[in-house]
Chains A and B, each alone.
Chain A
Amino acid sequence: MSRAYRHNLNGSSLEPGTRQLEIEAVALRFGGVQALQNVSLDVCQGEIHAIIGPNGAGKTSLLNCISGLYRPQEGHIRLHRSDGPPHDLTRTRPSRVARLGVARAFQNIELFKHMTVLDNLMLGRHVHMKHSVWRSFLYYGPARRQEIAERQLVEEVIDFLEIQAVRHAHVGALPYGVQKRVEVGRALCLQPAVLLLDEPMAGMNTEEKEDMARFILDVNALAGVTVVLIEHDMEVVMDISERVSVLDFGRKITTGPPADVKTHPQVIEAYLGEEVS
């Protein structure tokens, strides 16, 4: 079943191609461990920007800094917008970062396990809803109207991700690949300006990977959502991303189009002779 999507999933009002996320000289330490060192990179509106690197390179840590979960000791992360000065995400708490339009899917699935798929996705609408204790107690009236209005967009995301059959299922009971998909859906329901995906295809079989790649491309091409993608599967990365940044031991080696990055000597060295195909 297909239908015209009525809701715009893109939460950014910036012109495509302009600088959206500006990461400037970020350094992050955990005691003696230097997780990130002088990392600078720009993400532009409307691109798929892949971040790659060996295990422990600091990719997840970088996303955590953007989400406001980690506070880097040095540097700034600015989120640009069309209607005012940029926000410095390094000084913003996670719930506020979400309100600014940064949505996130985690490396290890962090769904609300005891809830249904629908409830998980509706939580993606949290920042767009008004919450009043009295209206919730009463339910009939504004609270129910709001539930139904938000449900419309959630149902579009359900259609888009092809998870209609499981909408009332509890997420904890779903197969791994479907859970991954639900988590991306929850982030999409936020109508994000920037979508951060931490290894969305890890542990999937080829077919599931293809599906996920298609969803990411669709979100990006049709809706225009900026995607920051961490992924280990080089083929996928080279296929779908416009630009690639490489991290190694907390330092950024290079940023560029996939073809250039693939042949960069330091990148080849970082992967220690691993075939970068």
Chain B
Amino acid sequence: MATATGVYHTSYEADLALRKTRAEWIRLGLIVLLVVSAPFLLNPFWLTVANQIGIAIIGAVGLNILVGHTGLISLGHGAFLGVGAYTSAILVTRLEAPTLVAIGVAVAVTTVIGTFFGLPSLRLKGLYLAMATLAAQFILLFAFRNWDFITGGTDAIVVASPEIFGFTLRTDFHWYWVIFGVAALVVFAARNLFRTGLGRAFHAVRDQDIAAAVMGIHVGRQKLLAFAISSGLVGLAGAMTAHYRTIVTWERFTLDVSVLYLAMIIVGGLGSVAGAVYGATFMTVLPAAIQQLARNVRDTIPMLGREIPAIQLIVFGLVIVLFLLFEPRGLDRTWQRVKDYFRLWPFRY
């Protein structure tokens, strides 16, 4: 219950709720309205970008569970994305599995492989764990490229547009609803996870692993669980990319992608579900915006048009450095500050 003098609760249910004031509910309503109306308002280019954002949200929330919430690092998540994509694509094309089954199996396979490559975390921390997961990235990429008999090697796998419950998902407009439906579920599930004992245990391992152990948390098991959930979600994102783009090639799962996803959660806010959403949105919109901008000025300044990839890279690097310097806790923190500013608005100081 929100009053002029503060927020009061008369039950533990109310105290535990995610949204406690009317303003918070109105904000949620506005976001829902925005998401629902977006596909009717966006042009084809930006609708494609929106779908990429949705998939990135699923992956970023997943990676953040490992990096931001549990304090482990992985440079292998680009390849885990590939495991999900390849598994689902292969099941659909070779075994003619129904799409939903294929995606389900892909999530399971990525969970197992991600957990396996998380085993070094039982012994290693920080930079050493980064190196171990980097090895996972290279091993998996090697498999994608060279195990012709499974992955088709360097040739792309082409997948047909999927049919779900008798409905063929062909256009970006169709996909939008599927992608954002799944993304909303993932965000909801992740938010829930971190208000239960299991989620708290991840934070405990991150903050103080010795104290966590002494409080009865099996630290090793908790770390592997973080790898499992995290790579499962990334596998889901990967499988959805495969069917959405209808094409799977190894180039989409290189180290760059691992780094891009890490950038998303750093820019958005480590250890915050909302932060992962902001970061995924920001880091997907940014290159698209640069591309659009450069295209618009191509005729006046031709050099810009030619150098789009270079400019994208430079801005990308600059953004990460600036965030690390000036807002290391990411967009999530920026948003909190904006909210506080308006909450105290008449009394600025």
How does the 8 Å CB contact mask read for A129-166 relative to B, with 1 for contact and 0 for none? 10111011111000110111011000000000000000
- Scan residues 189-213 of chain B and give those whose CB is less than 8 A from a CB of chain A: 189, 192-193, 195-201, 203-204, 206-208, 210-213
Interface size range on B against A: 20 to 34
A114 touches B207 (CB 8 A): yes
Given contacts A69-B210, A111-B211, contact A133 B229 (CB under 8 A): yes
Partner of B213, one of A93, A114, A136, A190: A93
Contacting B204 at CB < 8 Å: which of A93, A123, A148? A123
* Closest Cβ–Cβ distance, residue A147 to chain B (whole Å): 6
Min C-beta distance of A128 to chain B, whole Å: 9
Q: Tell me whether A104 and B214 are in contact in the complex, defined as CB-CB below 8 angstroms, given that A111-B208, A113-B207, A136-B198 are known contacts.
A: yes
Instruction: Write out, one digit per residue, whether chain A residues 115-130 have a CB within 8 A of any chain B CB (1) or not (0).
Output: 1000100111111010
Choose one: B196, B215, B218; the contact of A124 (CB below 8 Å).
Answer: B215
Docked Cα-Cα span, A114 to B218, in Å, equals 20
* B4 smallest CB distance to A (angstroms): 20
Which of B13, B198, B199, B271 lies at the interface centre, i.e. has the most chain A CB atoms within 10 A of its CB?
Answer: B198
Interface contact A123-B200, CB-CB below 8 Å: yes
Q: Provided the pairs A95-B216, A127-B216 are in contact, do residues A112 and B207 lie with their beta carbons within 8 angstroms?
A: yes
Most buried by A among B196, B213, B214: B214
State which residues 154-212 of B face A: CB under 8 Å.
189, 192-193, 195-201, 203-204, 206-208, 210-212
A264 at the interface (CB under 8 A from B): no
Q: Shortest Cβ distance from A127 into chain B, in angstroms? A: 4
Q: Who on chain A is nearest to B193 by CB?
A: A136
The answer to whether B197 touches A126, judged by C-beta atoms less than 8 angstroms apart, is: yes
Judged by DSSP, the binding face of A is helix
A126 CB contact (under 8 Å) in B189, B217, B225 = B217
A98-B192 in contact (CB<8A)? no
- Is the pair A137, B200 in contact by a Cβ cutoff of 8 Å? no
Q: Decide yes or no whether A99 CB sits under 8 A from chain B.
A: yes
Given the interface contacts A69-B214, A110-B210, does A131 sit within 8 Å of B198 by beta carbon?
yes
- Are B208 and A110 within 8 A (Cβ)? yes
Chain A residues within 8 Å of B16, by CB: 144, 147-148, 151
Please indicate the chain A residues that have their CB under 8 angstroms from the CB of B219 in the complex: 95
How far does the alpha carbon of A89 sit from the alpha carbon of B304 in the complex, in Å? 68
Q: With A and B bound together, what is the CA distance between A138 and B199 in angstroms?
A: 13
| Contact residues in B for A98 (Cβ distance below 8 Å) | 213-216
Q: Is there a chain B Cβ closer than 8 Å to A241's Cβ?
A: no
Q: Which residue of B lies closest to A112 (CB)?
A: B207
- Check A94 for interface membership: any CB of B closer than 8 A: yes
What 0/1 pattern do residues 248 to 264 of A give for CB contact below 8 A with B? 00000000000000000
- Docked Cα-Cα span, A146 to B200, in Å, equals 14
Query: What are 16 A-B residue pairs whose CB atoms fall within 8 Å in the complex?
Result: A93-B218, A98-B216, A104-B214, A106-B211, A112-B207, A114-B271, A126-B201, A126-B204, A131-B196, A131-B201, A133-B229, A135-B196, A136-B196, A147-B12, A147-B16, A147-B196
- Of all A-B residue pairs in the complex, the 3 with the closest CB atoms, nearest first, are A98-B216, A139-B192, A127-B216
